[in-house]
């Protein structure tokens, strides 16, 4: 990676402004998954060890309807972060202006401050220059460790870099190394697994990967559109009719690299308690039934491919894993990846739902790398330049 990182900077005695990704799920003000908080801790501890004057953190959370939206306040994150860091974390009710300025000024030497949601300001997502300038006032140097927003040119991750030297945090460095380097120079055999609901969301990723992988395994709702392209009846399954022609084109260009499920678990309703059965896809799906997971024969076929793989990238679940009765296929793929990781393969999960599925399966710690950024991961897999990465100073 030809970008400056925290290892190239001196933080002693400086106010260090860090863009973190604390976009965590909340229910009634309680954090239900602290993965993103834990992911930021190594960078923050690294900076604190260098005795900075202050550590000021900013992040977005959700999509606030208005400034002060209680459901999207970062306030619950401060105590959770303090527990992981082992130091006090102050909280400011704003990210710019008098409240934020006073909170920064009140910090003791080496103090840590979390600013309120950057998206309370409309200028955040517009990369407003004045808002970025106000944010930049808080620091002497800028660290971007928010890979989850690296594909967006916002004030808090791109705009501030016009005012402060920007370096990558350890998480950002790790994400770039695993995603970009894995794509550029993978050990063969190289296998990609793509799932999720829609083909249209991943057309460019499929096109980019087909030229690089030895096999591309398809699952999830997007597989239904490929089946429809083969002329197979799909019953009440989710099919993107407008993407069928695109699927035909991908099938033609993919040849034997592109693998589709051979069986599926179907249900008579979109409900965990629905009646279910396993069918051979070639027989089609009868009216009133829909595909909600891959079947055991598909897991075996995909396992035969994966057992010899040296590099695997996975983005998107194999079924509706949020429902326990339709999670078996997705969890089985996670187990296959854990098994080959133990045997020396490099396995990378590209954020989003597949990352959540790996966590739910209890196998997350057995995967080489799980990305914290869904959209950013996809765009990196497409080969796009990410604005948040571009804004970091070159070595």
Above pLDDT 70, what percent of the chain?
99
**Looking at residues 303-324, what average pLDDT do you find?**
96
Q: In this predicted model, which residue has the larger pLDDT, 183 or 267?
A: 267
Q: Would the pLDDT of 344 be above 90? A: yes
Q: How confident is the model at residue 335 (pLDDT cuts 50, 70, 90)?
A: very high
**Looking at residues 111-118, what average pLDDT do you find?**
98
Q: What is the mean pLDDT of the chain?
A: 94
Q: Please write the tens of the pLDDT for every residue from 140-163.
A: 999 999 999 999 999 999 999 999
Q: Rounded CA gap, 197 and 201, in Å?
A: 8
**Looking at residues 208-231, what average pLDDT do you find?**
95
Q: What is the pLDDT of residue 39?
A: 92
Q: Which residues are catalytic?
A: 36, 198, 352, 375
For the domain spanning 186-382, the CATH number is 3.40.50.1260
Reduced 3-state DSSP string for 75-100:
CCHHHHHHHHHCCCEEECCCCCHHHH
Phi, psi torsion values for 380, nearest 5 degrees: -70, -40
Q: Would the pLDDT of 246 be above 90? A: yes
Asked if residue 294 lies in contact with residue 357, where contact means CB atoms within 8 angstroms, the answer is no
The DSSP output letter for 119 is G
Q: What is the pLDDT of residue 181?
A: 78
Same fold across 6-173 and 186-382: yes
Q: Would the pLDDT of 352 be above 80? A: no
Q: Would the pLDDT of 1 be above 80? A: no
Strand (E) or helix (H) holding 111: strand 111-114
Phi, psi torsion values for 226, nearest 5 degrees: -65, -40
Q: How confident is the model at residue 300 (pLDDT cuts 50, 70, 90)?
A: very high
Q: What is the pLDDT of residue 156?
A: 97
Q: What is the pLDDT of residue 46?
A: 98
**How is domain 6-173 classified at the CATH fold level?**
Rossmann fold (3.40.50)
Q: How confident is the model at residue 324 (pLDDT cuts 50, 70, 90)?
A: very high
Q: What is the pLDDT of residue 201?
A: 83
Report the 10 Å Cβ neighbour count for 46.
16
Domain ranges of the chain: 6-173, 186-382
């Amino acid at each position: 990676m030809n970008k400056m990182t925290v290892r190239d900077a001196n933080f002693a005695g400086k106010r260090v402004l860090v863009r973190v990704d604390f976009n965590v799920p909340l229910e009634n003000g309680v954090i239900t998954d602290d993965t993103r908080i834990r992911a930021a801790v190594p960078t923050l501890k690294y900076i604190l060890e260098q005795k900075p004057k202050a550590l000021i953190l900013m992040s977005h959370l959700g999509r606030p309807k208005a400034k002060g939206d209680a459901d999207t306040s970062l306030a619950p994150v401060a105590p959770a972060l303090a527990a992981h860091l082992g130091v006090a974390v102050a909280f400011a009710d704003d990210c710019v202006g008098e409240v934020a300025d006073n909170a920064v000024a009140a910090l003791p030497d080496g103090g840590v401050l979390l600013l309120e949601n950057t998206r309370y300001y409309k200028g955040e997502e517009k990369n407003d220059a004045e808002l970025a300038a106000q944010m930049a006032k808080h620091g002497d140097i800028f660290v971007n460790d928010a890979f989850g927003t690296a594909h967006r040119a916002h004030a808090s991750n791109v705009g501030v870099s016009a005012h402060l030297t920007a370096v990558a945090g350890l998480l950002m460095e790790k994400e770039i190394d695993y995603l970009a380097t894995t794509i550029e120079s993978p050990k063969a055999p190289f296998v990609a697994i793509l799932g999720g609901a829609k083909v249209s969301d991943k057309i460019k990723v499929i096109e980019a990967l087909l030229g690089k992988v030895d096999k591309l395994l398809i699952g999830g709702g997007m597989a239904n559109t490929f089946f429809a392209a083969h002329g197979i009846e799909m019953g009440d399954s989710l099919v993107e009719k407008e993407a069928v022609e695109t699927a035909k084109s991908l099938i033609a260009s993919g040849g034997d690299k592109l693998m589709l499920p051979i069986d599926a678990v179907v249900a008579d309703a979109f409900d965990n308690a629905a009646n279910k059965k396993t069918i051979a896809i070639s027989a089609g799906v009868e009216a009133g039934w829909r595909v909600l997971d891959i079947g055991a024969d598909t897991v075996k076929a995909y396992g035969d491919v994966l057992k010899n793989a040296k590099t695997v990238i996975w983005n998107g679940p194999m079924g509706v894993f949020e429902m326990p009765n339709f999670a078996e296929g997705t969890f089985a793929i996670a187990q296959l990846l854990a098994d080959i990781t133990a045997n020396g393969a490099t396995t990378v999960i590209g954020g989003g739902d597949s990352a959540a599925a790996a966590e739910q399966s209890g196998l997350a710690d057995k995967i080489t790398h799980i990305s914290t950024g869904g959209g950013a991961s996809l765009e990196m897999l497409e080969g796009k330049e990410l604005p948040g990465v571009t804004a970091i100073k070159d070595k």
